[in-house]
């Protein structure tokens, strides 16, 4: 199961002094869910490999999870201009965040937005429970914020999952 840290729960309107939930990204990852896909694979194949790795670790059904990812991917793009693709889905039957990272040595053209290149894919599942949606959004913001172009550049040059994980940990501080 993934971890998140609730540093300060929101107590009032934004800007009134309340701080949002802050999600730590690095603790969500481990070497077995960090992949370096072979050159030439497309986004669909990367999603399959990542889903399989994440579900294997968490003991979840990869087919159901992958279906949820595809369902979300059919909607508005999850690729950002930093080079990060951020596929995600809300999954019933889980209690915490499940996440995995794929690092591409060679940029991949985003199938939905050909003008954008994908250099890293961060896939995550959050619990499909009403109270978990704020965490889901926090994670989206947190991952998008952490995986800026300089970090992705370094990840592309990493020697393997352990090196990549160390870079993420170092970047998050």
* CA atoms of 117 and 122, how far apart (whole Å): 14
Residue from the set 26, 64, 144, 156 that interacts with other proteins by CB under 8 A: 144
**Rg, C-alpha atoms of the chain:** 16
> Closest CB to other proteins among 12 and 59?
12
* CA atoms of 86 and 150, how far apart (whole Å): 17
H-run or E-run covering 128: none
> Closest CB to other proteins among 39 and 76?
76
What 8-state DSSP symbol labels residue 130?
G
Q: Of the ranges 7-15, 49-57, 58-66, 96-104, which one interacts with other proteins (CB under 8 A)?
A: 7-15
> Closest CB to other proteins among 26 and 80?
80
* CA atoms of 82 and 53, how far apart (whole Å): 24
Binding positions for other proteins, rule: CB under 8 A = 10, 13-16, 18-22, 75-76, 78, 80-84, 86, 88, 115-117, 133-134, 136-138, 140-146, 148-149
């Amino acid at each position: 199961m993934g971890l998140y840290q609730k540093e300060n729960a929101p107590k009032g309107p934004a800007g009134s002094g309340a701080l949002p939930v802050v999600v730590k990204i690095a603790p969500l990852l481990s070497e077995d869910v960090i992949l370096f896909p072979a050159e030439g694979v497309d986004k669909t194949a990367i999603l399959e490999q990542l889903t399989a790795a994440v579900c294997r670790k968490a003991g979840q059904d990869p087919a159901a999870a992958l279906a949820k990812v595809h369902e979300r991917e059919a909607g508005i793009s999850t690729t950002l201009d930093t080079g990060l693709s951020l596929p995600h889905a809300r999954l019933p039957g889980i209690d915490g965040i499940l996440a995995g990272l794929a690092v591409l040595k060679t940029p991949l053209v985003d199938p939905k937005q050909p003008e954008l290149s994908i250099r890293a894919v961060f896939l995550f599942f959050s619990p499909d429970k009403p109270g978990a949606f704020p965490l889901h959004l926090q994670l989206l913001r947190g991952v998008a914020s952490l995986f800026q172009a300089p970090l992705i550049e370094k990840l592309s040059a990493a020697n393997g999952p352990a090196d990549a994980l160390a870079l993420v940990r170092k970047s998050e501080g």
